[in-house]
Amino acid sequence: MSFGDPNNPYGPPQGPPQGPPPGYPPQGPPPGQPGYGYPTAPQGQPGYGYPQAPPVPQGYGYGVPQEMPGLVKTARVLLFILAGLQLLFGVIVGILAGATQDASNAFGSGDDSSMATGVVILVALLLLALGSLSIFLGVKFKTGRGGIRVTTIVYASLMILGSLGNIVNGAGGSGTFGGVISLAFGGIILSAMISGGAWFSRPRY
């Protein structure tokens, strides 16, 4: 049985069957090249569809302070300092009043000095109460609302009036010096409350 002349150019080709060329079928476009069909979205760019929503701003909202203003912080520190002085002087005045009354009783003149001692003890109790109020207001600055602001305004205004009285009646002595210090404290605290209304009226979430 013959399969034809191998030298015949019109006969079937001899040898093993020829397969597809290497790399066939194609495995896709080379890296970095767009393929056929729908275009792919570029890397790092948002895809097709609805636009992405902008990020939600952090904090309490637009125009609302996110932290306590600097002047309000200063007023808070001054309240704590004032509270320490008031408590200290209240304790000292109370101790001196009690010691003076004990000495008067020892000399047999306790009845004559009892009224004056009672007045001094009332002053000491007033200083202790004011010191406690100063601490309370300073602590409430961080979470308090308009009521704390109004109370602090009234407190600072009374402090300024008392300071002016001490300056006038102090005759250049220790009362005048204390009135000047108290006037400075009261003025700064009052200014902070007037300008810091946005902090106390901010929304809470």
Higher pLDDT, 156 or 57: 156
Mean pLDDT across the stretch 47-52? 54
Residue 193 lies in a domain: yes
Residue 34 lies in a domain: no
Q: Domain count of the chain?
A: 1
Residue 124 lies in a domain: yes
Share of the chain above pLDDT 90, in %: 39
Residue 127 lies in a domain: yes
Residue 196 lies in a domain: yes
Tell me the range of 13-17, 42-46, 80-84 where mean pLDDT is highest.
80-84
For 35, left (φ over 0), alpha (ψ -120 to 50), or beta? beta
Residue 130 lies in a domain: yes
Cα separation, 201 vs 150, whole angstroms: 12
Residue 25 lies in a domain: no
Check pLDDT > 90 for residue 178. no
Confidence category of residue 45, pLDDT binned at 50, 70, 90: low
Q: Is the peptide bond before 25 cis (omega within 30 degrees of 0)?
A: yes
Check pLDDT > 60 for residue 49. no
Confidence category of residue 190, pLDDT binned at 50, 70, 90: very high
Confidence category of residue 175, pLDDT binned at 50, 70, 90: confident
Residue 63 lies in a domain: no
User: Domain range spanning residue 137?
Assistant: 70-200
